[in-house]
Structures are given as structure tokens and as C-alpha cells.
Structure 1
Amino acid sequence: MQDKSFSPPRQTAFAARYEAQKIAFGPVVFQCVRYAWKRGMLQALSDAGGAGLSVAELAAGGQWSEYALKVVLETCLSAGAVQLQGGRYVLDKVGYCVLTDTITQINLDFNHDVNYLGLYDLDKSLDQEKPLGLKALGDWSTLYEGMSQLPEPAKSSWFAFDHHYSDTSFPQILPDVFATGPRRVMDIGANTGKFTLAALGYSAEAELHLVDLPRQLAVAEQNLQAAGLRERAHLHAVDLLDADKPLPAGMDLIWMSQFLSCFSEAAIATILQRAAAALAPGGQVLIMDTFWDRQQYDIASYCLINTSPYFTAMASGNSKIYESGDYIRLAEAAGLRLLTARDGIGYCHSLLRFAHAGAAGV
């Protein structure tokens, strides 16, 4: 796949200056459009259809003052979320997307509820490579330590963001996971057990080994018990940042989904080394992740690239959305080689399959 290029088309200096102002006022536009969505202004305009509504008509219901309507809708006008036709506001295409598109809504909630306050300290986080914005949510060294204790609405918005992207992928990749007939499967970064539940439901013979921090495993155990699948699951509390902690050995397949992006390159290197050591003869490592350089559409690459600052300010301080070549390079250094790569899974996932460097392919 060719490297992605985001060079905009040729534009005049004046047009470029306009684009620069959109960046400068981006936080203002974000909050006003979000307010119009959350408080029902966009829905009211949608209900009115092509005729639209005047500020006076919108204010007549008593839900918003004319002042609030003017401030918010004028910013929405500048963002292309609404049009102003003969003194009446009409919903435009951008506003329609905000009102109806699930991914747009999840991204808005994620950035507002999880990231917004913490991103104020992005500069310090980048300089120190520590998630200094995380203090806006809680007193943890990384977000992963406090995942199960996140305050609302940050907790719901984080899990909605994470699961909306991953859940669309799991049904598509289970045949890939079990293509070699693995019996002992390790789910590294098991989180709430979503993949483990799907895998145990797909294969009646497989046993799953979940690796994560104790708090995440406690949630996964509850979900496994509720599904009646606890007896085929084995829980391993491991701090993956401790390079001296080995992983359970003898695995036919090791699975990692949207996991390695939570770590720095140095940490990824140690995780892959331990994963390679944990494989049984003929075992394989499958990595599913969102690589910005393997997307068919620029909109996906744009969203993924701009998720990286969340990792910096809120999650770990030193991780990001990686290019696929980064994982391949680090895997090769750990004694693994790439067997296959499959793109176009779910919304934006790719699946990389590795084996020991001297092993035969699939």
C-alpha cells in the first residue's frame, strides 16, 4: 500500500489564511456545534425541513434565549452546519452528519468528555512524554490504571469510542483467528473480555488466556461468568510495562487488538519479544490495529492521526496510532516475520499475521 499523502490541493495565500483561522478557532467551533447538537437546535432545524426557522421562532419555545441562539447558530453557520436563507436557519450537510452519523457523534463525545480539558496540557505532555492531562479525569500514572474507575461521562464515551471501532471487526476476523486450529489462545490486553467472549463463542474447543492489569481482568471475569464461559478462560494479571515479566508459554496463537498503540516503541519491542517466546512450535501472533497508512479513505486516516494526541495527553504520554511498518520492524527485531496482511476490516482495521522467522507460512 502506498504511503498516505495529505497535501491539500493548490490554494491561494488568502485561502490558506482562511484555513489557518479554522485551526485557530477550532475549539470554539467544536463547542458551539456540539452545543447545537446536544441541546436540540440541530434537531429542531431538521424537523422544520427546508423551510427552516427564524431565531424568534426557535426562541418561542423557551428552550433557548435569542442570545444563545444567535451566538451558537452563527458559529454553526461559519462551520457549514447550517445555512441562513432569508433570515431563517436551515440544516446543512455538516449539521446533518453531526445529527445522524454515529461515528461523528462518538468522536465528538470522546473528544469532549475524555480529551478536551486534558489537551490543554498537551505541550507539557509532549515535552515530558507523560500524560499530564490525565489529572483532569483522575489521579493515575496512566489512563489504563484507572479505566474501570473513570468518571462519567468520560467512562461511557471512552468505551463507546473503543468498542464502536473494534466490535465491527470481531465477526470478520474470527475465521482468521482460528484458521490454523489453535487450542490455546492468548488475548493480550483483554480489557473487558470482548474478544475472548467472541472467540469462546466461535470455537467450542479453544481455551483463552487473558492478560491484562488486575482491574481490567476483574471486569472481564464478571462478563465471562455472566456468559457462562468462565471455565474455559484463564486470567493472568501482568503489568506489560514490566519487561522482566514473562507471558504464559505454550500458546498456539497470541492475539492483540488495538493494544500495542497504547505503548511506546520501546515497550512494544519488549512485548513482542515476550510474545515470540510464549509461542508453541508452529504458533502465530495476530495483531489487529488501526494503521493510518493502510486506510482506503482519507477521512479514516485523518481521524486516526488525530487520535494520537489523546495517547500523549491522556493515556500514556508516549504512544500513538502507528504506521504498519513500525510494527513490522519491531516484530522482525523480536524474531518474528510477517506472513500476511489484510486490510479493510470493519471501519479501519488491518490484520497482521506473524510467525517465528524460521517457521513455514500459512
Structure 2
Amino acid sequence: MEFFNKETKTALQAKEAALWIAFAPVVFQAARALRDFGILKAIGDSDDGLTIEQIIQQVNLSRYAVRVLLEAGLGMELLIVNDKKYKVTKTGHFIQHDTLTRINMDFSQDICYKGMFHLQESLQEGKPAGLKELGPWNTIYEGLSILPGTAKESWFNFDHYYSDLAFPTVLPTVFKHKPKNLLDIGGNTGKWSLTCVNYDPDVKVTIMDLPGQIGLATKNIEEKGMADRVDFYPTNILDESLPFPKDFDAIWMSQFLDCFSEAEIISILKRCREALSDNGFVFILEPFWNRQVFKSAAFCLQQTSLYFTAMANGNSQMYHTDDFFACIREAGLEIVEEDDSAGMNYTLLKCKKA
């Protein structure tokens, strides 16, 4: 990946980009309004475009409201206009129809937007100063099960969309050595554990997570009739005085370690090493920004790091492999396999005791 090693813009293009950044909050909210008020859909569903009068007939907004949004949409290149008829551009189409874009926009709005007002404070203090916009917690993970309004749905949609696509592609690697006991750390709602017990009829899975998350996972596991195959281990993984369960053939962490600082990652991996059987493996599924095929994917991950800064915990990020791999080595583990083709943008790491 060589997206970030040279200047690519002319002076004029650079100034245009700077001005886009200056108005980025306005652009974001206007794009959401065009989407959520149904303006993009109304125009996109038409064969030859719509005039402002035709749009007004289909949305519950004043002429003024529709006009300012349409004009903003022209500047954002979501719309074009000819003979007073508006049409949706390719970018506008993706804002309206692309699942990935919709999930990212909803996450940015419902989880990040207000909290990002406190980003500079978070950077100075090393704490998620923006989290107070959602609730009175030290980290967002303490409040996931009780996030207000649409925030809960937006968070889990964002968290699951990427990893869910990767799960089917990594199962053969994880189960190559037929693990009998698998520890799912940070199991969230239990999706991975359910995937495992459905894939291998002999494996026994233990989900280890915060008590609130264990409650969500327990409900989902019981509803699927898999309570006899999945155990639960509620704990606070940051409390080093609390032991890990032992003797697992496989330990699984999916998009989990990016929720922690480097020192915390090392501590967690050291305890994983102790919990592993002699011939067992630690499997880590992570999206590393420097391993992305597309520049837009790297961009999304780099910006997601600031969600961790302002909202999640104040000290973690989406990592570069140089920094992350150093943590693995420091914890006494060795990477024996790397697969950058897992799902949309993930790397699967297979580690053993060094």
C-alpha cells in the first residue's frame, strides 16, 4: 500500500480539499437530510429527473427547505441539474443505496457526532471526553447494552457488518486442527460463537466479556437452542487480578484488541498465552489500515481511530501492523500465519507460544 507517501494534488485541488474539510460538518448533515427526507430517493426513482416543484409534492418540506438542500447537493456533487430538472449522481446513488455508506453515516451521526466536539480534550487527557454525550460511563463498552435511542442499533450495525463478512472465510483456518475448546474473548452478542457451534458439532465455546455483553449473548444463544454448547465467563478483562479460564485449544478475538492501548494489548495477550494449551493457537481478526487494498478503506479506518479517542476509551485505535505486531512479540507469542484476504478488509493472524 502506497497511498500516503507522496503529494497527489495541484495547489488548486489542495485548496478545494481544504475548503471541503472546513465545511465537512455541514456537508455531512446536509447529505443526511437529503437522504432521510427522501429527496435523493424521489429524484433517483424518476426516469428523467425532477423539478423543484415535483420534489416538493413528494416530501413534507417547504420550498425554501427543498431549495437550500438541492443547492447544497449540487455543491457536494450528489446532484446535477439541467433544464431545471435534478438528477442523482453516482455519489448520490451511493449515499442513498450503499449499505456500507449508510452504516458508516449512521454510526458517525448516532455515536460520534456530538462527542467529536470534545476530541481535543480527549487527546489532551487520554480519556473519552465525548462519551458524556451518550452516557455516564468510563468507556463505551460499559453502556453498550443500554445505549440510548438509535445509538445501540447504529453501534452494533457498524461493529458487525465488517466482521460478519469475514467469519465464513476464516472458519476453515480456525478449525483446521479441530479445536475442542474455544475461548471467544469479547464475544459481544455471540455471533461468532454461534457460527462456530454450527460449523463444528464437537466444539465447545466459552464467551468471555463484560457482564452486560454476556447478558446479550446469553439471550441470543438460548434463543438459538445452543446453551449446552456455549459457556459464559463474565469478567473485566482490564482487571489483571481476574484470571482467564485455562486450557483452550483456540482463543479467538475479532476486532477486539483495537479497543485497547498497546500496554493493555500486551497484558491481554500474555494472559491469552497462559490460557492456551501447549499446542493451541490464538486467532486475531483485525482490520489494519496499512493492509487495505483501497485508499477509501484505509481512510475509514484512520478516522475510526478517533472514535476510540473521543468516544470509546481514549487510548486505542485501528492499528498499523508495525505497532500491533510488536505487541504480539512482547507478549511471548509468534505469528505463524497471516491472511489479508479475510472478508472485506481484515487480516487473520494465527499465533502460537513463542
Which TM class, normalised by the smaller chain length?
Answer: over 0.9
CA contact (8 A) 1:206 1:232 kept: yes
Paired residue secondary structure (2:81): strand
* Residue 332 (str. 1) matches residue 293 (str. 2): no
Paired residue secondary structure (1:343): strand
Structure 1 residue 65: deviation in Å? 1.1
CA contact (8 A) 1:52 1:89 kept: yes
Deviations 1:61-99 (A, max 9, x none): 462211111111111111110002122211111101111
CA contact (8 A) 1:263 1:319 kept: yes
Corresponding residue for residue 360 of structure 1: none
Corresponding residue for residue 342 of structure 2: 345
Alpha-carbon separation, structure 2, partners of 1:251 and 1:65: 62
* Residue 84 (str. 1) matches residue 76 (str. 2): no
Corresponding residue for residue 108 of structure 2: 111
Corresponding residue for residue 156 of structure 1: 153
CA contact (8 A) 1:106 1:157 kept: yes
Alpha-carbon separation, structure 1, partners of 2:20 and 2:2: 27
Mapping for residues 93-112 of structure 1, pairs under 5 Å: 93-112=90-109
Paired residue secondary structure (1:245): coil
Alpha-carbon separation, structure 2, partners of 1:244 and 1:153: 36
Percent identity over the alignment?
Answer: 41
CA contact (8 A) 1:295 1:344 kept: no
Deviations 1:77-132 (A, max 9, x none): 11110002122211111101111111011111110111111111111011111111
Alpha-carbon separation, structure 2, partners of 1:74 and 1:122: 31
272, 286, 308: which one aligns with 2:283: 286
Alpha-carbon separation, structure 1, partners of 2:3 and 2:279: 34
Corresponding residue for residue 207 of structure 1: 204
Alpha-carbon separation, structure 2, partners of 1:281 and 1:3: 39
Deviations 1:217-243 (A, max 9, x none): 011111111111111222111211112
What amino acid sits opposite 2:227 in the alignment? R
Alpha-carbon separation, structure 2, partners of 1:211 and 1:44: 47
Deviations 1:295-314 (A, max 9, x none): 11111111111111111111
Kindly report the root-mean-square deviation, in angstroms, between the aligned alpha carbons of the 2 structures. Answer: 1.3
Corresponding residue for residue 26 of structure 1: 24
CA contact (8 A) 1:4 1:293 kept: no
Mapping for residues 1-362 of structure 1, pairs under 5 Å: 2=1, 4-5=3-4, 7-11=6-10, 13-49=11-47, 51-61=48-58, 63-357=60-354
Alpha-carbon separation, structure 2, partners of 1:41 and 1:123: 35
Alpha-carbon separation, structure 2, partners of 1:196 and 1:34: 35
Alpha-carbon separation, structure 2, partners of 1:332 and 1:166: 25
CA contact (8 A) 1:58 1:64 kept: no
Segments of 4+ in structure 1 off by > 3 A?
none
Structure 1 residue 57: deviation in Å? 2.3
CA contact (8 A) 1:125 1:313 kept: yes
Alpha-carbon separation, structure 1, partners of 2:154 and 2:55: 30
Any unmatched runs of 5+ in structure 2? none
Structure 1 residue 327: deviation in Å? 2.2
Alpha-carbon separation, structure 2, partners of 1:96 and 1:170: 29
Any unmatched runs of 5+ in structure 1? 358-362
Instruction: Name the count of aligned residue pairs.
Output: 354
Paired residue secondary structure (1:231): coil
CA contact (8 A) 2:39 2:59 kept: no
Structure 1 residue 24: deviation in Å? 0.4
Structure 1 stretch displaced more, 113-122 or 54-63: 54-63
Deviations 1:181-226 (A, max 9, x none): 1111100111111101100111111111111011100111111111
CA contact (8 A) 1:292 1:300 kept: yes
**Structure-2 change in CA distance of 1:318 and 1:180 (3 Å):** same
Paired residue secondary structure (2:228): helix
Structure 1 residue 245: deviation in Å? 2.2
Alpha-carbon separation, structure 2, partners of 1:355 and 1:283: 7
Alpha-carbon separation, structure 2, partners of 1:61 and 1:282: 64
What amino acid sits opposite 2:124 in the alignment? D
Alpha-carbon separation, structure 2, partners of 1:176 and 1:111: 33
